[in-house]
Amino acid sequence: MKVRAIALNTFSGLVRNKIIILFCAGCICILLLMLTSLLAMRNLRAAQNAERMQMMVLPLIAGMMTFISGFGSLLAAWSAADAVASEMRAGTVLAVLARPVRRWEFLLGKFLGVQLLMFVFVLIMLGLNYLLAWIGGATISTNPWVLIVYPMVRYAVYSALGMLLVTVMHPIVAFCIVLVVMIGAGLVAPNNPQTFMPEWLRTGLFYVLPSSNLLSETRFLTITRATLRAATWTDHATALVYGLDYALVCFVLAAWIFRSRSLSRD
């Protein structure tokens, strides 16, 4: 009951958070700009070579989906960092932890509140994906559970990482580090052809950084008449367990650090 109360309170706070509202408004503006070109292409399609236009439209849709997905990871990290930091900043954490609430229960409540926000985000994103595909004149053949579970696990990883970092540093610094981690994870992904990094460093970082590529739903995303890309249940299970394990380790570390942290109004 305590954890649920903290989670719901965190969710209520996050949907009213001005920075997050601003964050989402920025994302919507960018999407609208991209949508303009998508609509223009769709109108041109009838007049020009339909096959060629389809090849231009589909990457644009995939790009928009990747953008929304990446934005979600940043939103998850920021929300988690801010959910904890804002309680410390305002001093509300003192009133909450004066109650018979364990520190890890507080963090878990915060974490679940962020996951609730991200679940709403994923549902909106899913609807937007289908809308974009429809506007672009295509259909999404991917099974919807993949488009829900994979981003949720990825967001759990980034929110746990954000939460871990904010237990020892300012939320903006924590967010910047998560951003660097995200970029780094993309650079060291096996499908990235970059060559400036020595192999040993690339391998080392690949094992340490969360694999956004492995947890990306876009690798299953097929926006044509094609069917779901072949993936066995063991592939899914391995990828999802990897993500959940990463999130769990980050969360346990965050709880361990928070356990011995002095709490005062920052």
Q: Nearest-CA neighbor of 215 among 171, 155, 257?
A: 155
Task: Say whether residue 1 binds other proteins (CB under 8 A).
Answer: yes
Task: Say whether residue 184 binds other proteins (CB under 8 A).
Answer: no
The window from 10-18, 26-34, 125-133, 194-202 that contacts other proteins (CB under 8 A) reads 10-18
Residues 107, 224: Cα–Cα separation, whole Å: 42
191 or 260: whose CB is closer to other proteins?
Answer: 260
Residues 138 and 58: beta-carbon distance below 8 Å: yes
4 or 229: whose CB is closer to other proteins?
Answer: 4
Tell me, by CB under 8 A, how many residues bind other proteins.
26
Residues 153 and 215: beta-carbon distance below 8 Å: yes
229 or 259: whose CB is closer to other proteins?
Answer: 259
Q: In the bound complex, what is the minimum distance in angstroms from residue 2's beta carbon to other proteins?
A: 5
Task: Say whether residue 234 binds other proteins (CB under 8 A).
Answer: no
The window from 5-13, 37-45, 119-127, 133-141 that contacts other proteins (CB under 8 A) reads 5-13
Residues 183, 109: Cα–Cα separation, whole Å: 28
Q: In the bound complex, what is the minimum distance in angstroms from residue 249's beta carbon to other proteins?
A: 24
Task: Say whether residue 5 binds other proteins (CB under 8 A).
Answer: yes
15 or 172: whose CB is closer to other proteins?
Answer: 15
Residues 115 and 69: beta-carbon distance below 8 Å: no
Task: Say whether residue 264 binds other proteins (CB under 8 A).
Answer: yes
174 or 214: whose CB is closer to other proteins?
Answer: 174
Near other proteins in 67-126, by CB under 8 A: 90-92, 94-102
100 or 193: whose CB is closer to other proteins?
Answer: 100
Question: Which residues would be at the binding site for other proteins (CB under 8 A)?
Answer: 1-2, 4-6, 9, 12-13, 16, 90-92, 94-102, 260, 262-265
